[in-house]
A and B are shown apart, each in its own frame.
Chain A
Amino acid sequence: MSEAATLALREQFATPRQQRETASIGMWVFVVSEMMIFSALFVGFAVYRLSSPHPFDIGSGEMELTLGSINTVLLICSSFTMALAVYNAESGNQRWLVLFLLITMFLGSLFLGIKLTEYYDHFRDHKVPALWFHYAGSSAGKVQMFFIFYFIMTGLHVIHLVVGLGLLLVMVVRSLVGAFSPEYHTPILMTGVYWSFVDVIWIFLYAIFYVPGFHIK
């Protein structure tokens, strides 16, 4: 057992293996709990979409499909680089670990930038419910409902993404001071799980908000 692993062993655990598995279970239970947070919104969206599909299609038509698709690809790539970071943590390759963490952060920030650009476009197009919403066609109320869900769900996703970026930053710093080793790199693993979860959520958001609008443009 390396020194780092011994130092990282908390007093309530008997072995590093027990500590690692406990962390992993805790993380996954947390992920499922997070999933239930979004599930309520998905259910609400499904109910309203089902009762008025056409206004929701119109809402999807207002989405910027290029930016949305680029964002999807960005997040998928960032999950990939995060996985590579985990891979290098396992083999104790500090330099590559830091590099891949930084690439992941870069891709995540890019996503964030594009998302904020999109928000700005919606604002410009008067598509922000409550603050500045205008829609000339019929069923404006239902179109607004689409945007309410869009802003709540993507907003919540952005919050999760920002938390993820913060976690990554902590991981970069800890990697640089040599906190991780092939024996002990649980925090990197857990960050990877969280980051991929953020990706999973986005993939669903992309499917429900952007895809139905493609053929309208």
Chain B
Amino acid sequence: MLTRLRLLPDSASSVSGEVNFFFFLMVLVCGTVALAIAVFIIYCGFRYRRRHPNAMGAQVRYNVPVEVAWTVIPLLLFMGMFAWGAKLYFDIERPPNNAIELFAVGKQWMWKIQHPEGQREINELHIPVGRPVRLTMTSEDAIHSFFVPAFRTKQDVLPGRYTTTWFEATKPGKYHLFCAEYCGAKHSGMIGYVYAMTPRDYQTWLTEGAPEGSLASTGEKYFHQFGCANCHHFNEQGRCPNLRGLYNRPVQISTGQTVIADESYIRESIMAPDAKVVYGFDAIMPNFTGVISEEKIVALIAYIKALGPQPGTQQPSSSGTSPKEYGAQPGIAGPGATSNSGSYVEKR
């Protein structure tokens, strides 16, 4: 029985060490204070216990220096905790540029993972050690939460929206994957494992899986199946915008604002096409809500990402810096935008 008793979780990601360190430092600081209070109270309880039924304590009401001290010192301590916590949070939340990009769809009650190479996994996630992995996640129903204790990472997965999380495994092994946001009857069954593998094992795993095709090629299939290709031609003659080179570029929309065509924007354009219509086009695209599943959208996004730039134009850098304006026709586009993740930027 005792062999089952564990007191500490695995520490297997690039941030887990610092989280551990911060945690135990907090335990040390708070533990010391708690112990001091306890010892003080017990000491008073014995030292000043009532020895005579009519006895009265010292009639002291306040002591300003002492009170100021125990207001200011905790405040400073707390500010330190805040600063460190915030810095750590920033590190946990901001993905590096060279991450492997995977997609996860949560639904009652399973995790579906899609690799760009085409592998699909359910309640399992295979990743290489030593490379950051970024997950773009969404839910098909209630809110879920992607939680890997060994990586000290957790992110709610919301329906109708993409959220992201990232981690870099540092130790090969098999780690728990939990859903941490209550999502219904079999919430506690929405669990799985993350397999962190050495790069070589990972390569083997990738090739052994032997999927029919990459995620992008699946997306291409859907691109034709759902009739996208009927309007979205890869030239400027179609009734709809040319999607080549769209990904991660600024797009001017009909209200005059500019948005970045990231995953969220592409998803929104499929599910609510009239929300942000590209400047110069009519809102003729049908609404695919309820027609297409989140997993198929993911494949379509992978396809659009893989389309690459228009022949003859410069390949944008992978981080999306200095992007070119993406517009209906050359020359219509407004000034370069700096917005991110589909947020609005007022036209100057």
Contact = CB atoms under 8 A, between A and B. Distances in A.
Tell me, yes or no, whether A binds B.
Answer: yes
B283 A138 contact: yes
B310 interface: no
10 contacts: A52-B275, A54-B255, A138-B274, A138-B277, A138-B283, A139-B272, A139-B274, A139-B275, A141-B272, A142-B275
Nearest to A139: B274
A139 B283 CA distance: 10
Given A54-B255, A138-B274, A139-B274, 7 more contacts: A52-B275, A138-B277, A138-B283, A139-B272, A139-B275, A141-B272, A142-B275
Contacts of B283: 138
Interface in A128-159: 138-139, 141-142
A142 B272 CA distance: 10
A54 B274 CA distance: 11
A93 to B, nearest CB: 56
A197 B146 CA distance: 47
Interface centre among A54, A138, A139 (most CB of B within 10 A): A138
Interface of B: prevailing SS? loop
Interface residues of B, number: 6
Contacts of B255: 54
Nearest to A138: B274
Interface in A17-33: none
B283 to A, nearest CB: 5
A138 B253 CA distance: 15
B212 to A, nearest CB: 36
A142 B287 CA distance: 14
Interface string A52-75: 101000000000000000000000
Interface string A95-138: 00000000000000000000000000000000000000000001
Interface string B251-288: 00001000000000000000010110100000100000
A139 B254 CA distance: 14
A49 to B, nearest CB: 13
A52 B275 CA distance: 8
Contacts of B272: 139, 141
A137 to B, nearest CB: 8
A138 B277 CA distance: 10
A142 B275 CA distance: 9
A183 to B, nearest CB: 44
A52 B257 CA distance: 13
Nearest to A50: B344
Interface in A171-186: none
A212 to B, nearest CB: 15
Contacts of A142: 275
Contacts of B275: 52, 139, 142
Nearest to A137: B274
Nearest to A142: B275
Nearest to B289: A141
Nearest to A55: B275
Interface centre among B255, B272, B275 (most CB of A within 10 A): B275
B154 to A, nearest CB: 25
Contacts of A54: 255
Interface in B241-257: 255
Contacts of A52: 275
Nearest to B273: A138
B224 to A, nearest CB: 26
Contacts of B274: 138-139
Contacts of A141: 272
A140 to B, nearest CB: 9
Contacts of B277: 138
The 6 A-B pairs of least Cβ separation, nearest first, read A138-B274, A138-B283, A139-B274, A139-B275, A54-B255, A52-B275
B254 to A, nearest CB: 10
B252 to A, nearest CB: 16
A53 to B, nearest CB: 9
Nearest to B275: A139
Interface string B301-343: 0000000000000000000000000000000000000000000
Nearest to A51: B344
Contacts of A138: 274, 277, 283
A44 to B, nearest CB: 17
A139 B272 CA distance: 8
A62 B283 CA distance: 21
B37 to A, nearest CB: 37
A143 to B, nearest CB: 11
A35 B26 CA distance: 41
A138 B272 CA distance: 9
B291 to A, nearest CB: 15
B92 to A, nearest CB: 27
Contacts of A139: 272, 274-275
Interface centre among B255, B274, B283 (most CB of A within 10 A): B274
Interface in B132-158: none
A146 B93 CA distance: 34
Nearest to B274: A138
